[in-house]
Structure 1
Amino acid sequence: MRNASAEARVSLTIDGNRIDVAAGTTVAAALALAGVRGTRTSVTGQPRAALCGMGVCQEFRVTIDGRPHALACQTLCREGQIVLTRNAAGAR
């Protein structure tokens, strides 16, 4: 008998591309699965991505459902969620 919770999936959109992930996946993990290597740039133009993976460094910020500066590593994916990285969202 299969575990129903292991099969639960959610669908979200990252920079206009749909991705399905397991329920309970963080947005940071979904970004990695989608091949996103950075979510914003530093003031000098260098790409920035997750550093600590738990929200302390504040580096993995994205726009989620219109809310800018959400921490991808502390946010769980939800059905229909729309995630934009700096590259897709433009200057914030």
Structure 2
Amino acid sequence: MSQRIVDHPVLGSLAARNQLRFTFNGTPYSAYEGETIAAALLASGVRTLRVHEEKGTPRGIYCNIGHCYECRVNVDGVPTVRACMTLVQDGMQVTAGTVLPTPLKKGGHSQ
């Protein structure tokens, strides 16, 4: 179920834009030209874009203006791309960030 605004008094109608296809964690989604990854996923009901690198707690859109970096995803193999600042391209493959090993945990580094 799409939660997009399809006709906006300033931005116009989505009917005038080309529809694009992309995947998020292997699941296909659609977007429209000029739409960010975050906006397209939000419109499709996706709220979790990644998990905290150490704790595994869910993270999603927070500021939506590129300041907080909470919406970092991997795009076509490139890590830490801000979903709120990156326009969807047709065929784009997006994956969520996952828990990573960290040297900050006690005993997690070698001397």
Q: 1: distance between equivalents of 2:37 and 2:17?
A: 18
Unmatched segments (≥5 aa) in structure 1? none
2:96 is matched with which residue: 66, 85, 88? 85
| CA RMSD across the alignment | 2.3
Aligned partner of 1:34 in structure 2 is 44
Q: 8 Å contact 2:21–2:29 — kept in the other structure?
A: yes
- Matching residue of 1:10: 20
SS at match of 1:45: coil
Q: Which whole-Å CA distance do the structure 2 matches of 1:41 and 1:14 have between them?
A: 14
Q: What fraction of aligned residue pairs are identical, expressed as a percent?
A: 36
> Are the aligned partners of 2:51 and 2:96 in contact in 1 as well (CA < 8 Å)?
no
Deviation at 1:6, TM superposition (A): 1.7
Q: Does 1:24 align with 2:34?
A: yes
Q: Is the 8 A contact 2:72 2:81 kept in 1?
A: yes
Give the length in aligned residue pairs. 88
Secondary structure class of the residue paired with 1:32:
helix
Q: Which of structures 1 and 2 has the bigger CA Rg?
A: 2
Query: Structure with the greater relative contact order (CA < 8 A, sep ≥ 6): 1 or 2?
Result: 1
Comparing both structures, which one devotes a greater share of its residues to helix?
1
